[in-house]
Chains A and B, each alone.
Chain A
Amino acid sequence: MSRLFVYLIPVFVIAVFMVMAHFERRVAHDPTHRGFFDRNGTVLGIAFIALVAFWTLFLVVLPYLYMVQESFHPKLVAAERGGPKDILTLEQYRSFFIQPTDGEVNTTHLWAFFFSLAASAAVTVLNFAICYPLAYYMAQAGSVQKVRLLMLALIVPYWVNEILRAFSLRLLLASKGLINQVLMGLGLTDAPVDFLGNNVGLYVGLSYAYLLVMMFPLYNAVESLDKNQIEAARDLGAPWWRIHKDVVIPYAKPGIASGCTMVFMLSAGSLAAPQFLGGPKTLWFTSIVYDFFFQAFNWPRGAAYAFLLLAGCIALVMLMLRVFKVSLGETIR
């Protein structure tokens, strides 16, 4: 019974939405306005609403709510669900901070959480630094033909899936890999450098995986900047770095924010790069979640950790947007 409670939330949101739509229609009074079913025909109107409702309810909102709900329940076998043991509890969240087995502080998981977020933030900054010059060059200096060719060249590697891209990096960075062969051949090192063990592989892999995600929002943002503004700044004697700092970057801020948000969220939630390129001692937070599902079969705890990850990511993104004074609305546009 308690589990059905979640259905009240979407009902409430839909009610709010309807009230909002109705209210706005009355405020923006427009005699030529026609109702939704009037404008689309009854059959099509119902079909549109049904499709959108199926998506937003059954594929988006309800699954999220069920996951959150699961995280507040104890680990149960199927037969016990709905029985007397099926109570609401905070035990899964407590286990993130304090080991349920010995009552010690859960340093492993806490560290993994902060490491994942910090490493994702670092990868985000790295990708911005790598992509900004090319995005600027393509948007402001390149000819149309050249830009289209560059775009195509950017997209093609991304049709190879994430796993194989991680695999290709592993071939390069492994102790018997090409880079170590070159380094040893040149006599720069005697023993192979352990790129994968000390997480160089992880950072490179994450950066490589989401390069394009940074590139496109940046390009789109810089592209619409009027070239005359840059000319004007240059004519007034601004050095190149001030042109970027005071003209281009403020203008492209929404695009930068959206690229950074995407890269950060994707890295923090990534599974392939940490699994295949991370060192043996590195514990990425999504890998912990993965293990709760597939090794410990502790779904409630996995759900709780997943929810913590989501909450942590959103909190950090919001904080950053606040610090850099960008509104969320601008970012997702």
Chain B
Amino acid sequence: MSTRDKLSVIGKSRRRVDGASKVSGQTKFADDIVLPRMLHCKLLRSHLPHANIKNVDTSRAERHPGVKLVLTGNDFPNEYGILPVSQDERPLCKEKVRFVGDPVAAVIALDEFTAEEALQLIDVEYEELATIADPLEGLNTPEARLHEYSEEGNIHKRLSYEFGDVDDAIAKSEHVFEDIFFYEGCTHLPMEQHAAVGHIEADGRITLWSSTQCPHYVHRAISKALEIPTARIRVIATPNGGGFGGKTDPFNHEIVVIKAAMLLGRPVKIALTREEVFYCHRGRHPVLMKYRTGVDKDGKLTGMHLQTMLDGGAYGSYGVASTFYTCVLQPVTYHLPRYAFDACRVFTNKPPCGPKRGHGTVQPRFGQEVQMDKIAEKLKIDPADFRLGVIEQAGAMTANYLKIGSMGLAECINKVVERSDWKNKYGKLPKGKGIGIACSSYLTGAGNSIYWNAMPHSGVQLKLDRSGKVTVFCGATEIGQGSDDVLVGMVAEVLGLDPLMIRCVTGDTDLTPVDLGSYSSRVTLMMGNAAIQAAERARDLIAEAVSKKLGVPLERLVFADMRVFDTEDPELGLDFHKAVVCGEEMHGTLGTTGSYAPPEPPGKYKGSGVGPSPAYSYSAAVVELDIDELTGWVHVERVYIAHDLGKALNPVLSRGQVQGGVYMGLGEALMEEQTFQRLPPRLSNALVHKTPSMLEYKSLTAHDMPEVIIDLIEDPDENGPFGAKEAGQGPLTPIIPAVANAVYDAVGVRIDEVPITAEKILKALDKKARGGEGRVGPDKFPEIEWPEPYEVPPPWEGGDGDAVNKPKRKRAAKMHEMDKFKKAVSS
């Protein structure tokens, strides 16, 4: 039996399955949940950037009318954190606070107003500590140390890898390019502020509704932080009002409301203010990066050495993974015969950085793509042609052992070149007008889970019964990207159904099989493959029964148009509804499952787990803009983007993802920045977020968005469901360097620093006018004591994917042991 060759759901633009609910205001976001007897929680947050907590006196707050409970750090037994290697967060701070906004106490009261009033009645005695404002300070200031478990002083983590002798390759190159770039931090700014409701049933079972992208990881974190078995906890991810990576960590407020609900026996809600969302952060790390790249006389890349330094903020979050991601995807776009990287993450007294759309790869892609532009100019090759000459091949294994599947980058480049009339514009536009190109690639799901395990990354369950109704269950989370729609679309296609006949239940750890969550662009591919497997198994069961009933050989049965029929005699068949009845008669209650785990990554060296993906998406973008040379004012006129997503499952949603990526990329290129400020040290120890508001954290409005011309390139990948790869994150990335390159084409200055503002352009123009280098950007990369690198010969130099040496690594102290040790010493 089969699905009809011609696809009937996949590849067609149609109303998303959650569309009607969203446009009618029926979608229940976390803060829309109201339960009987529900109480409200507010958090007291530190107003100091770094301090020891000497004492927390909650007695006045407890006496405040309407207050039901006040919690402090002492009420929580354990640390938690998203990565097993950085379990460094507490639901409420106990011994110290590490940034302005770190929560210290919680008040639960009859209403939010009362809870907020009572916060002012909590007396906290602090002992102020020296602060670390940026990674350079962190490198040079081991004390006061933010975390005892860090590798050394305030250095959280250092990495060093060599895939072949890069120094040798560069030394033998015709040209060597050395460039330093800086990418400022920015945040997700989802429209929905995080909210959560904790609830305990009379039998002691616990439920959390939360605006989380990763209910499975929240489930684990609650269990660990509160020492409750996971079987007693249910986490329901409400549809997220935007995530972009900002809701992928387990958060302190989620654990606090659970604890409060357990103690009070009543539902407890917390809804964060916008300012608090800025303190949750987990957004893009500020990254300083240095590229040394060799190019031979034919314009081929010979090798690249990349060094990055990340400003981690106050906690680990996904930071170790982010640190890898600033380096691992460079070889996926252009062939690099040899490659080396060093990376370092430093703790600072600011909200923790983590994963934002394009996790860790957006910053280095900016540097790499601007350097590519500089190389092309020096070599006097058209930047588009230069890129086409060095792109990696489909099916290739990179120097760092990433296996590429389908690779539509050449088509992407050709498409935007043609669409934008690049050949007639590049270098030929009147002064002040410019055009720039850049490319990118991104994962379609991380090849490894956050915690090591041999289980599926995504599970799907299907229930079918005599009603003809199909219900599909999956732990994946709808964050706006269309995850529910992909899930239903897969099942509808395989079973030949109208998507409206299928109900999906997602993101509920009690009801749905585990899916790791909506991050790393993994959902479409992983959940999609699991859904196909579950649906095909259901199809097999039904087909067997129908075949018997109608006397049609199995291989001639087709599932399409809500029927199961004989492909040679389409009149002979059953309505799907009746076919399910047949199936239920033959097999009893019908239910199937599907699982997906990514292929085993080819790399074997320690650290090879970050970077592998079942498939890589590719994008190329061209930006056209106008610059006023007297002010540096930028006006982006048009963006062309071509994105290779393997297969567009629901093209209207695919285009929406691409367009949204361009939007966010332009925001980061031009104005979005999460920056901090110290006041004059002789007067104040303050270190505060400069713009924790929707008004002052600048995101593009309807007026600021230029026309975007989108082409979806479909180069199907054998690992993708119906060939599909990701579209949610990749298209953001080329926009930023394309803007930088267009600025250069327009006015001949290099802004090697993001965001690219009028101020910086004017400064560069001034420098150029004075006869200097028309450039604004960092001049130095600091001296960092790198560890001995892992030496992994690339595949074409006889490598087997493992390191040939065994570098010594200082083992980071286990935090628990260190804490115990400190306690023992102090008592």
Q: Do A and B bind each other?
A: no
